[in-house]
């Protein structure tokens, strides 16, 4: 159990370390054993101590693996070396909020109705651990968990018992919206409201054991809704899952109480996220990443956003870069509704052709790359599908073949549509906003690839596979502290098709811009 070296930090104060301090100071190794003496006065503390996790659950919970240097995960040394080895000498790392950053959590509900456990599994086991004072959670997630615990006890709700497949309440997802425009901007994060999704061990809301689900939703609303002393709860949803596998959510969702629509503000736009859609856990860091991403997409580009979720990246680019067209491709059909809602609040000046497609990016991926100048990929931790890597590596040869073919690349007539599978495909299972014509008449292939990764190991493999044939070269890379307390970081890497441009030569004579991020 870690001892507090200094008084626990407020979750709303991040550890500010000057770029120079990070660059020049040799990092002290984590203490081998924890001191038993009272802490020294704080002014002399090094960043590793002021940026310590100080969480009482550190050793029992599997959520965090690092106790010190939250501002600078150890893996950064390797990341920096990797990028240097591939010609990117100015890799930068942005660190934002170090505590209370997690705005989205999925937690197991186990134990008994009198003694419920709501938390993560212990490393390598299926033993859930209570984490009421989690330092990564937004504080209102912790408060909502405590309210939920009270509800389980008072209503005698039976948590799930995995071995037997019995009990009612399996998991809970908590997501915080910090988008309350009636509050001053500085108060919004702190006053975030929690959308609670209760995963119930029943087929639907009419099953006999679903009565307690309704009762629990009403309890949360009565005690945490707008009429309670502390308004904490945004809404409550039910999800129904009876399968005995490890998949958290079933296919059936029900809105039970509170506001149906959940809005957040990132990347310059209001986005709607249903509980069934993917959402980034670290809202603030994601916003910083999107701001950076915008710089690499030229105004008026045609963009393909693969692994798009509810289309947040594509839509924020459409709004900021006035893209000619944006195509979002996502395999989870539940994200479609969130995309449509987001578009309803879209700024009226955006007149891009925007579409969202329910499709698997690994099936005929070339059809999605056709007609775009920039492709953005944001795959799950396991990385890109091999068929997509192959398609990305083949682009120049596709271009050459198209040019040399007697039927010139741009001269298809309407009756030859069947030879343009991407057009036929783009019409399937899609939502289209704005003009279709732009999408259909553009036959360019991407020259810029922007890879957003939360899985460092898979990223390295994909990166090498893309560059081995010299089809793509790395131009820029940035890291973001999306998961403080772990060895995971989010990477944004920009690749260009063809040979690497000598940026130094291009820039010579120009004044150097002041850097605002931590150079490593």
Ligand X SMILES: C[S@@+](CC[C@H](N)C(=O)[O-])C[C@H]1O[C@@H](n2cnc3c(N)ncnc32)[C@H](O)[C@@H]1O
Binding residues for S-adenosyl-L-methionine: 280, 307, 330, 378
Give the number of other CB atoms < 10 A from CB of residue 345: 12
* DSSP 8-state class, residue 30: P
Spatial contact of 243 and 200, defined as CB atoms under 8 Å apart:
no
- Report how many residues bind ligand X under the rule CB under 6 A: 18
Q: Which residue in the set 165, 347, 380, 386 belongs to the binding site for ligand X (CB under 6 A)? A: 380
Least separation, in Å, of the C-beta of 464 and ligand X? 21
Give me 386's structure tokens.
């091999």
Output b/e per residue, 347-359; b: 16+ Cβ within 10 A. Answer: eeebebbbbbbbb
Output b/e per residue, 248-274; b: 16+ Cβ within 10 A. Answer: bbbebbbbbbbeebbbbbbbebbbbbb
Q: Which is nearer to ligand X, 6 or 331 (CB)?
A: 331
Given the residues 15, 134, 328, 454, the one annotated as active site = 454
CB-closest chain residue to ligand X:
309
Per CB under 6 A, does 11 bind ligand X? no
How far is 162 from 140, CA to CA, in rounded Å? 28
Residues 310-369 touching ligand X, rule: CB under 6 A, are: 312-313, 329-332, 360-362
Residue 116 pairs in a beta bridge with: 111
Q: Which residue in the set 169, 189, 307, 480 belongs to the binding site for ligand X (CB under 6 A)? A: 307
Least separation, in Å, of the C-beta of 276 and ligand X? 10
Q: Which is nearer to ligand X, 82 or 278 (CB)?
A: 278
Q: Which is nearer to ligand X, 210 or 272 (CB)?
A: 272
Q: Which residue in the set 224, 238, 267, 309 belongs to the binding site for ligand X (CB under 6 A)? A: 309
User: Which stretch in 158-166, 305-313, 348-356, 441-449 sits in contact with ligand X by CB under 6 A?
Assistant: 305-313
Q: Which is nearer to ligand X, 145 or 269 (CB)?
A: 269
Binding mask 482-501 for ligand X (x = CB under 6 A): --------------------
Phi/psi at 343 (nearest 5 deg)?
Answer: -65, -30
User: Which stretch in 101-109, 174-182, 375-383, 474-482 sits in contact with ligand X by CB under 6 A?
Assistant: 375-383
Least separation, in Å, of the C-beta of 311 and ligand X? 8
Cα 72 from chain centre: 19
User: Which stretch in 100-108, 373-381, 429-437, 482-490 sits in contact with ligand X by CB under 6 A?
Assistant: 373-381
Sequence-ordered list of residues with C-beta below 8 angstroms from that of 107, at least 6 positions apart, any chain = 118, 119, 120, 128, 131, 145, 171, 172, 173, 174
How far is 283 from 410, CA to CA, in rounded Å? 42
User: Three-state DSSP class for 125?
Assistant: coil
Side-chain-facing half-sphere of 86: CA atoms under 13 Å = 24
Q: Which is nearer to ligand X, 167 or 446 (CB)?
A: 446
How far is 313 from 335, CA to CA, in rounded Å? 13
Q: Which is nearer to ligand X, 288 or 313 (CB)?
A: 313
Say which residue the tokens 């578009």 belong to.
Answer: 343
Least separation, in Å, of the C-beta of 271 and ligand X? 8
User: Which stretch in 88-96, 128-136, 249-257, 306-314 sits in contact with ligand X by CB under 6 A?
Assistant: 306-314
Per CB under 6 A, does 280 bind ligand X? yes
Least separation, in Å, of the C-beta of 496 and ligand X? 21
Q: Which is nearer to ligand X, 128 or 297 (CB)?
A: 297
User: Which stretch in 262-270, 301-309, 339-347, 463-471 sits in contact with ligand X by CB under 6 A?
Assistant: 301-309
Q: Which residue in the set 80, 130, 378, 490 belongs to the binding site for ligand X (CB under 6 A)? A: 378
Residues 39-78 touching ligand X, rule: CB under 6 A, are: none
Least separation, in Å, of the C-beta of 457 and ligand X? 15
Per DSSP (E only), the strands in 300-410 are 302-306, 325-330, 353-358, 374-377
Least separation, in Å, of the C-beta of 238 and ligand X? 21
* DSSP 8-state class, residue 167: S
How far is 513 from 91, CA to CA, in rounded Å? 15
Sequence-ordered list of residues with C-beta below 8 angstroms from that of 407, at least 6 positions apart, any chain = none
Dihedral, CA of residue 378, residue 381, residue 387 and residue 391, to nearest 10? 30
Told to judge if 55 belongs to the known catalytic residues of this protein, a careful annotator would answer no
Output b/e per residue, 154-189; b: 16+ Cβ within 10 A. Answer: eeebbbbebeeeebbbbbbbbbbbbbbeeeeeeebb
Q: Which residue in the set 94, 385, 462, 475 belongs to the binding site for ligand X (CB under 6 A)? A: 385
Give me 131's structure tokens.
């984490």
Q: Which residue in the set 145, 269, 308, 450 belongs to the binding site for ligand X (CB under 6 A)? A: 308
Least separation, in Å, of the C-beta of 347 and ligand X? 19
Catalytic positions are 454
Which residues form the interface with ligand X (CB under 6 A)?
Answer: 278, 280, 307-309, 312-313, 329-332, 360-362, 378-380, 385
């Amino acid at each position: 159990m870690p001892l507090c070296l200094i008084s626990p930090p407020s979750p709303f104060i991040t550890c500010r370390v000057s770029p120079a301090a990070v660059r020049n100071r040799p990092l002290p190794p984590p203490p081998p054993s924890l001191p038993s003496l009272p802490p020294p006065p704080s002014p002399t503390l090094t960043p590793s101590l002021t940026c310590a996790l100080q969480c009482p659950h550190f050793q029992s919970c599997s959520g965090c693996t690092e106790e010190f240097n939250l501002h600078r995960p150890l893996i950064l040394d390797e990341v920096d070396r990797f990028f240097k080895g591939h010609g990117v000498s100015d890799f930068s790392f942005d660190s934002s909020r170090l505590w209370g950053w997690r705005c989205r959590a999925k937690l197991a509900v186990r134990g008994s109705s009198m003694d419920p456990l709501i938390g993560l599994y212990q490393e390598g086991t299926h033993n859930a651990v209570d984490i009421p004072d989690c330092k990564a959670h937004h504080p209102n997630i912790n408060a909502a968990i405590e309210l939920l615990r009270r509800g389980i006890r008072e209503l005698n709700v039976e948590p799930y018992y995995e071995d037997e497949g019995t009990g009612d309440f399996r998991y809970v997802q908590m997501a915080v919206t910090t988008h309350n425009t009636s509050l001053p901007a500085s108060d919004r994060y702190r006053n975030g409201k929690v959308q609670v999704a209760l995963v119930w061990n029943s087929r639907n809301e009419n099953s006999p054991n679903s009565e307690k689900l309704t009762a629990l939703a009403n309890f949360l609303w009565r005690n945490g809704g707008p009429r309670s002393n502390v308004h904490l709860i945004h809404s409550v949803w039910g999800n129904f899952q009876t399968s005995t596998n490890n998949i958290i959510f079933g296919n059936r969702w029900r809105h039970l109480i509170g506001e149906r629509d959940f809005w957040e503000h990132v990347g310059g736009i209001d986005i709607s996220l249903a509980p069934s859609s993917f959402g980034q856990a670290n809202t603030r860091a994601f916003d910083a990443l999107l701001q950076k991403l915008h710089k690499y997409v030229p105004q008026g580009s045609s963009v393909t956003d693969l692994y798009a979720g509810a289309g947040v990246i594509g839509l924020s680019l459409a709004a900021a870069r006035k893209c000619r067209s944006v195509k979002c491709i996502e395999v989870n059909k539940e994200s479609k509704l969130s995309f449509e809602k987001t578009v309803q609040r879209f700024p009226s000046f955006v007149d891009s052709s925007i579409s969202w497609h329910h499709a698997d990016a690994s099936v005929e991926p070339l059809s999605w790359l056709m007609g775009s100048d920039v492709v953005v990929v944001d795959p799950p931790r396991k990385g890109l599908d091999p068929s997509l890597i192959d398609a990305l590596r083949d682009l120049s040869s596709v271009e050459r073949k198209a040019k040399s073919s007697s039927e010139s690349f741009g001269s298809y007539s309407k009756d030859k549509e069947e030879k343009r599978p991407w057009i036929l495909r783009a019409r399937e299972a899609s939502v289209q906003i704005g003009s279709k014509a732009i999408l259909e008449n553009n036959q360019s292939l991407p020259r810029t690839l922007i890879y957003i990764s939360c899985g460092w190991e898979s990223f390295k493999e994909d990166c090498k596979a893309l560059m081995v044939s010299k089809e793509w070269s790395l131009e820029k890379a940035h890291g973001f502290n999306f998961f403080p307390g772990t060895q995971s970081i989010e990477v944004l890497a920009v690749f260009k098709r063809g040979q690497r441009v000598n940026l130094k030569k291009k820039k010579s004579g120009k004044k150097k811009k002041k850097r605002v991020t931590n150079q490593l």
